[in-house]
Chains A and B, each alone.
Chain A
Amino acid sequence: MGVTAVTDSAKFSAAALDELIAARQEPEWLVDLRRAAFETFCEKALPSRKEEEWMRTDIRTFHLDNFEPPAELSEIPADLPEGLLTAGVDLGGRVVSYNSRTISSELSDELKQQGVVFGSFAEVLESHGEVIREHLCHAVDPHFDKFSALHAAFFTTGQVLYVPRGVVVKKPLHALSLMGAGGVDLGHTLVILEEGAEATMLNETASVDETSPGMHCGAIELFVHPRARLRYVNLQNWGRGVWHFAHQKGVVDRDAHIQWTIGALGSKLSKVNQHVGLVGEGAECEVNGVMFTEGRQHLSYHTLQHHQAPHCHSNFLYKAALQDRSRTVWRGMIKVDEGAQRTDGYQRNDNLLLTKHCRADSIPGLEIEADDVRCTHGATTGQVDEEQIFYAQCRGFTRNEAIRAIVIGFFQQVFDRIPVESVREALGKSIAVRVREYE
């Protein structure tokens, strides 16, 4: 079996796109967007390790044609996973998808009456087409690379949350994306908070089968208009056979605030570009990332906090614990535009290596064009301290309990910054069960 470069795709073909477009009654502007993205998809090659961004992320064993564009569902499996984030949470609404098709969508009457919209992409496109048109692909760029183009050309569903001006949504909304064996998820998440609105959205992913192959090629766009406040939680919990490629961007306007929590536990390989654009004066963002990897998992996160306006504040904290032969790559950039004076930017990545063969790379960066700013960054990588283990063992802990306590302690700093209790608990539990026995 030699290595063959994936040049073009027989499955994600022009005919497949025509079929997808014919099966959907979408407005012309969206069809045009798909077709333009498809052209880019054909023109661009899959990224190679010659590119700076992909140097440490090897996708030569990813073969796009092992997957198919999302098809209509002939049947929905009976016992689908429930998700982890919502235990004990009183939800305002919930959208569930399976293999990139929405299978259920609910929103409380109370929220409906307030003008809140939450549902599948197709539903919201029909009722609020103009709002979607004004926002879709305005944060992420469908022409950025082959994956972003593939997504924009072929995506079939996703979740849209729209909160009108001044409306405060107290109950969290939940979106769950599920994938079956050999499945594909091309979901697009779009969140739009109009001026002064507030909401919390919990978005999570899971595979029906822990080891089967799958592909996620998705996008997340979060628009936080002036003085709005968004809490957004994204738990990536795909099975171990899933290739996960995503472009995610939050756009935060004047005096608005976003708190974005990332839990990255699953997938075989992840390559995520996560950007926040602070586009209005006084905008703020706080990003908290928790990663835990095992086996041969490879998670690569490229974050950008882009200060485009003065007096903005950004704070990124990513913590990763790794075991076995797993790998993380974190590249963080704080970019400050010329006019963005009085910027306050911070980024940090800490890594805890639990075995000899795991590896974490941290590459923080600054690109500053303004002269009155405060930007700080830092990264640490270390192993579990044997003395701490010994100390805990002296007090009756087994070695495994000791390591588990150290790992949870390591993450505590991020957990303290997560205000939603169910999320803190779900992350803590999922991590604790993954910590192995070590010699």
Chain B
Amino acid sequence: MSEFVRVAAADAIADPGKQVFEVEDQIVVVFHVDGQYSCLDDVCTHDDGPLGDGRLEGCTIACPRHGAKFDIRTGAALSMPATRPTVCHEVKVEDDAVWVRLRS
């Protein structure tokens, strides 16, 4: 199991907002919505679209390539053309910072 990695100060990500980070050789997107943080792989399971470049609406992120939607809290695929969830990583807020632990 990997360790928690500090990615940013808690107030560095706007609410609502998102930001892309490199964590242990992987690119992830951290979301901040309604005071809650969450983190997904920056990979759309349809055709590898970059979710971090997508449009955030409430708790949904839309892939910029073909529009598939994912739930930012779980990674679940909510609409076609994606059918499989993307990986959702663990997030915690501690010492005024956001920490991410990768799930493989």
* A49, B20: Cα distance in complex, Å: 15
Given A56-B47, A56-B48, A325-B104, do A3 and B20 touch, yes or no (CB 8 Å)?
Answer: yes
Question: What is the CB-to-nearest-CB distance from B53 to chain A, in angstroms, rounded to a whole number?
Answer: 9
Residues on the B chain within 8 Å of A361, using CB: 47
Majority DSSP secondary structure for residues of B touching A: strand
Interface string of A1-33 (1 = CB under 8 A from B): 111000000000000000000000000000000
Residues on the B chain within 8 Å of A60, using CB: 22, 27
The answer, yes or no, to whether A394 is at the interface (CB within 8 Å) is: no
Residues on the B chain within 8 Å of A1, using CB: 5, 7, 21-23
* A296, B8: Cα distance in complex, Å: 26
Q: Are B21's CB and A58's CB within 8 A?
A: no
* A58, B29: Cα distance in complex, Å: 14
Residue of B nearest to A268 (CB): B25
Residues on the A chain within 8 Å of B26, using CB: 61
Q: Are A3's CB and B48's CB within 8 A?
A: no
* A55, B64: Cα distance in complex, Å: 13
Q: Are A55's CB and B47's CB within 8 A?
A: yes
Residues on the B chain within 8 Å of A55, using CB: 47-48
Tally chain B residues at the interface, Cβ within 8 Å. 16
Number of chain A interface residues as a range: 10 to 19
Residue of B nearest to A296 (CB): B104
The answer, yes or no, to whether B43 is at the interface (CB within 8 Å) is: yes
Residue of A58, A296, A325 near B48 (CB, 8 A) is: A58
The B6-39 residues at the A interface (CB cut-off 8 A) are 7-8, 19-23, 25-27
Q: Are B22's CB and A3's CB within 8 A?
A: yes
Residue of A nearest to B25 (CB): A61
The answer, yes or no, to whether B75 is at the interface (CB within 8 Å) is: no
* A49, B5: Cα distance in complex, Å: 26
Interface string of A392-431 (1 = CB under 8 A from B): 0000000000000000000000000000000000000000
Listed A/B pairs (8) with beta-carbon separation below 8 Å: A2-B8, A2-B19, A2-B22, A3-B20, A3-B27, A56-B48, A58-B43, A58-B48
Identify the B interface with A (CB < 8 A): 5, 7-8, 19-23, 25-27, 43, 47-48, 50, 104
Identify the A interface with B (CB < 8 A): 1-3, 49, 55-56, 58, 60-61, 296, 325, 361
Other A-B contacts than A2-B8, A56-B47, A56-B48, 18 sampled, CB-CB below 8 A, are: A1-B5, A1-B7, A1-B21, A1-B22, A2-B19, A2-B21, A3-B21, A49-B50, A55-B47, A58-B43, A58-B48, A60-B22, A60-B27, A61-B22, A61-B25, A61-B27, A325-B104, A361-B47
